Structure 1
Amino acid sequence: MSPFRLFLTALLLTSGAPALAQQQSAGYKFLSAVRDAKNNEVLEMLGRPGSNIVNARDVTTGEGALHIVIKRGDETYLRFLLQKGADANMRDGKGNTPLLLAVTMGQTGMIPILTAAKANPNLGNSAGETPLIRAVQRRDIAMIRILLNEGADPDQADIIAGMSARAYAKQDSRNPVVTKLLEDAPKKTQKAVSGPKF
């Protein structure tokens, strides 16, 4: 590469660095304000024209603002962030969606809020665990009913054990109500995938 091209490449790379640093800094400040419930700061940052900071992620954990408010059980803040365009299907560094985290944290009231915002009840984390699998593992009847009503697939298997929510329920005999709920859950029909025919 010629010296001029090296200089030009270095110039282009460094000229974008301040903008990137400012963006990361703004995202960090936003997530810190959400963590600390500094409402005025959050409102000011979200009110900036063209701002898409509502979906900022923590660089170490991959968490977004929704993950933060779900961990503290704040339904009001959850609704507010969703109204501001927060991605209800954002995954953290372990692949956990806000819905999966709500189930994990025992936040039953957050499930309908998230599904109303188009949270997919069948998105699994990096281990393939879906919200329904986690609810079955918790033996939480209310959550299981809500998730099944929201379209959760009882036959979608995880990656680690290759087991579905239905299989986990059948294997665990400690709660016959959970087992019965999953036995009675209808099978989901898989949509046909269209593609080239040979």
Structure 2
Amino acid sequence: MPSRFLLALLIAGAAVPASAQIQSESYKFLQAVRDAKGDEVTTALNRPGSTIINTRDVTTGEGALHIVIKRHDATYLRFLLAKGADPNLRDNSGSTPMLLAVDTGQADLISVLKDARANPNLANSAGETPLIRAVQRRDPVMVRVLLAAGADPDQRDILAGRSARDYAARDLRNPLITQMLNDAPKAVKKAVAGPKL
């Protein structure tokens, strides 16, 4: 009998890491955000010394901001930003909350993210910026909002080596976007200070 008891303990002990991951504070926090359980989210954020606000899902890399943008929840977005969520947090594909707002057609969230110091020129792993994606979506409202937020029309992606201005010039289906980008001033690149050789 004692050997069966020890065997049962070993089997139970081997299962603990998987269940511990499921029950981690990070998992519980992100699940509460997904389920819009405001009391649980607030409790997690108000724990002394809590740094959970910018936790990322282990499988997707999504943070709380990614989750609330996907469900078009501007109120929750403002709440999480006020609590210190990083507006430039990237998921596993390199997408920021601003890029996700563009992908889901939520121009109204661009200014909310910009006010929270989101960088409109952070690209995903393919080098696509929010402005490039807005041009590809043929969304003039989004293009206008992004240009007003400081998006660089000349920043190139990695795959094709094209900028938002280049994509607009190649796509003749939306002349308004082409005109907006033609009228946009060239971004001034700041000089990099370093030793003189």
Which residue number corresponds to residue 131 of structure 1? Answer: 130
Shift of 1:195: 1.1
After TM superposition, the structure 1 = structure 2 runs for residues 139-158 of structure 1, keeping only pairs within 5 Å, are 139-158=138-157
Which residue number corresponds to residue 77 of structure 2? Answer: 78
Shift of 1:49: 1.0
Shift of 1:197: 1.2
Q: Determine if the alignment matches structure 1 residue 121 to structure 2 residue 120.
A: yes
Shift of 1:50: 1.2
Which residue number corresponds to residue 195 of structure 1? Answer: 194
Which residue number corresponds to residue 87 of structure 2? Answer: 88
Shift of 1:62: 0.3
Distance 2:161 2:120 in 1: 18
Distance 1:52 1:161 in 2: 38
SS of 2:66's partner is helix
Unaligned runs of 5+ in 1: 1-17
Which residue number corresponds to residue 27 of structure 1? Answer: 26
Q: Which runs of 4+ in 1 moved over 4 A?
A: none
Shift of 1:90: 0.1
Distance 2:60 2:172 in 1: 36
**How many equivalent pairs are there?**
179
Question: What do you get for the CA RMSD once the two structures are aligned?
Answer: 1.5
Distance 1:113 1:189 in 2: 25
Q: Determine if the alignment matches structure 1 residue 46 to structure 2 residue 45.
A: yes
Shift of 1:73: 0.1
SS of 2:24's partner is helix
Could you report, residue by residue, the CA deviation over 1:27-77 in whole angstroms, capped at 9, with x for unpaired residues? 010000000111111111111111111101000000000000000000000
Shift of 1:196: 1.4
After TM superposition, the structure 1 = structure 2 runs for residues 152-167 of structure 1, keeping only pairs within 5 Å, are 152-167=151-166
Q: With the length of structure 2 as denominator, give the TM-score of the two structures.
A: 0.88
Distance 1:194 1:86 in 2: 31
SS of 1:148's partner is helix
Which residue number corresponds to residue 169 of structure 2? Answer: 170
Q: Which amino acid aligns with 2:93?
A: K
Shift of 1:95: 0.1
Q: Which amino acid aligns with 1:113?
A: V
Distance 1:35 1:69 in 2: 7
Distance 1:133 1:68 in 2: 22
Unaligned runs of 5+ in 2: 1-16
